[in-house]
């Protein structure tokens, strides 16, 4: 926890709008190195609960827990920031309950930085059970009690401030791919309109509100969305939403690469939302992306799958039944360093023992965290282009 956090937190009680000017001192981004041959950069984003070195991967604790992993284990593995989901927490246990227990940090026993997404993606994923308007979104919580829920940008900000994460995201509207241009334009229009209202409604100075760039795969719409955010308020950082929604990697990078490297401001962190295969991270860092999150490391772990220096491994496969090597001989995570063999993990996942998911979750999360640490160091060393070239030629890049 950064020095002076307790004093700053006490000063923020009441979330008075008159104190918002202090936010600029609490949330700053320092670029400490840029790679000479790519657009990769290493930096530090300062928050009240600690500094976040970038590039960084954020493990996803959707419901205030990274499934199967204790906060102390995550800290030991080098986790610097966690992500939780506003929609799910607002449904269960409810933002009022979390706020009454000191906010997410105290509730989940994690004192490092936390980011909460807006929950908009989850709301819009209800497909035929949601209604969209200029005012906001109305959706049916079919994955809970089936009740209808209405969110305006103002209500979304109220929930975000109750949860109390260090970084929160504006309410935005995401469309899948492919989508007709008029639908993508409407997404940009709504997201821009809601960004203005979120910015006006957000009054908590110890919390950074990030705007979100939408625009599908159309670079001109992406730039339009970004310019509106820059004109509408001094957002401390920018999310990049609406990718990994059905498109292939080539299609994604056709607009993502120029958006980040040519149009996004240097002095603010850039957060690519919901994207998390190791190869995608490596190439997105080369474009200048700073922050990532994805459920993939823990979700694939629960399916018996591991990232590794040999590529993606399905530990359910019979070939691992007598393999006495660790999950990845090149890894130093608690599972690999602890001597757990592929044969043992194969047995666990085939028998659906929870320890198999726990060990693979430890490994996958640690693997991606370490990948970002390595990326950061070679950026500082000025050799990121060589790092990417070596990665692309390595078995590790076979992570599909």
pLDDT digits (tens, 9 = 90+) for 267-300: 999 999 999 899 999 999 999 999 999 999 999 9
- Across the range 126-143, mean pLDDT stands at 89
8-state DSSP, 320:
G
Mean confidence (pLDDT) of the chain: 93
pTM higher than 0.85 for the full model? yes
Q: Give the percent of the chain with pLDDT over 70.
A: 94
Give Cα 287 to chain centroid, integer Å.
Answer: 17
CA angle 399, 31, 363 (to 5 degrees): 30
Confidence of residue 157 (pLDDT cuts 50, 70, 90): very high
- Across the range 38-67, mean pLDDT stands at 98
Whether residue 199 has pLDDT greater than 50: yes
Correct CATH for 5-294 of 3.40.640.10, 3.40.50.300, 3.20.20.105, 3.40.50.1220 = 3.20.20.105
- Across the range 78-85, mean pLDDT stands at 98
CB 232 within 8 A of CB 192: yes
Could you confirm whether 117 is annotated as catalytic? yes
Whether residue 153 has pLDDT greater than 60: yes
| Structure confidence at residue 122 (pLDDT) | 80
- Across the range 153-159, mean pLDDT stands at 98
Q: Tell me which of 35, 166, 290, 293 is the catalytic residue.
A: 293
| Structure confidence at residue 24 (pLDDT) | 55
**27-41, 88-102, 120-134: the lowest-pLDDT one:** 120-134
Binding residues for substrate: 117-121, 172, 214, 242
| Structure confidence at residue 16 (pLDDT) | 42
In the chain, what are the domain boundaries?
A: 5-294, 296-400
CA–CA gap between residue 116 and residue 239 (Å, rounded): 12
Q: For the segment 223-265, what is each residue's pLDDT rounded down to a tens digit? A: 999 999 999 999 999 999 999 999 999 999 999 999 999 999 9
Q: Tell me which of 117, 166, 206, 399 is the catalytic residue.
A: 117
Confidence of residue 129 (pLDDT cuts 50, 70, 90): confident
Binding residues for Zn(2+): 331, 333, 336, 363
Map tokens 């823990």 to a residue: 298
Buried/exposed 91-116: b ≥16 CB within 10 Å, e otherwise: beeebeebbeeebbbebbebebbbbb
Could you confirm whether 386 is annotated as catalytic? no
């Amino acid at each position: 926890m950064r020095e002076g956090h307790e004093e700053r937190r006490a000063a923020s009680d009441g979330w008075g709008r008159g104190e918002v000017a202090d936010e600029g001192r609490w949330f700053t981004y320092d670029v400490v190195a840029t790679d000479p041959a790519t657009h990769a950069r290493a930096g530090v984003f300062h928050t009240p609960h600690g500094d976040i070195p970038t590039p960084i991967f954020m493990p996803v604790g959707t419901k205030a827990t990274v499934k199967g992993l204790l906060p102390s284990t995550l800290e030991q593995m080098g986790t610097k920031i966690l992500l939780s989901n506003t929609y799910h927490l607002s449904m269960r246990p409810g933002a009022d309950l979390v706020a009454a227990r000191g906010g997410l940090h105290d509730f989940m026993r994690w004192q490092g930085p936390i980011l909460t997404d807006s929950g908009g993606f989850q709301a819009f994923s209800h497909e035929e059970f949601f209604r969209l308007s200029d005012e906001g979104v109305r959706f049916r919580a079919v994955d809970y009690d089936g009740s209808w829920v209405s969110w305006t940008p103002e209500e979304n900000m109220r929930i975000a401030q109750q949860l109390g994460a260090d970084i929160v995201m504006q309410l935005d509207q995401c469309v899948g791919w492919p989508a007709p241009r008029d639908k993508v334009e409407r997404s940009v229009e709504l997201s821009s309109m809601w960004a203005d209202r979120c910015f006006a409604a957000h009054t908590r100075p110890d919390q950074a509100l990030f705007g979100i760039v939408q625009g599908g795969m159309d670079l001109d719409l992406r730039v339009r969305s970004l310019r509106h955010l820059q004109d509408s308020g001094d957002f401390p950082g920018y999310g990049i939403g609406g990718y990994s929604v059905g498109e292939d990697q080539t299609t994604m990078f056709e607009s993502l690469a120029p958006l980040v490297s040519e149009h996004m401001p240097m002095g603010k962190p850039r957060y690519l939302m919901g994207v998390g295969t190791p190869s995608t991270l490596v190439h997105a860092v080369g474009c200048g992306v700073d922050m990532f999150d994805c459920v993939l490391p823990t979700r694939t772990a629960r399916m018996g799958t591991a990232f590794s220096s040999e590529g993606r491994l399905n530990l359910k496969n019979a070939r691992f039944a007598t393999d006495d090597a660790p999950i990845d001989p090149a890894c130093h995570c608690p599972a690999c360093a602890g001597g757990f063999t592929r044969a043992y993990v194969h047995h666990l996942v085939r028998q659906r023992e929870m320890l198999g998911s726990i060990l693979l979750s430890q490994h996958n999360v640690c693997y991606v965290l370490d990948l970002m640490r390595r990326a950061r160091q070679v950026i500082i060393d000025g050799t990121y282009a060589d790092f990417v070239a070596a990665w692309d030629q390595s078995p590790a890049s076979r992570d599909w």
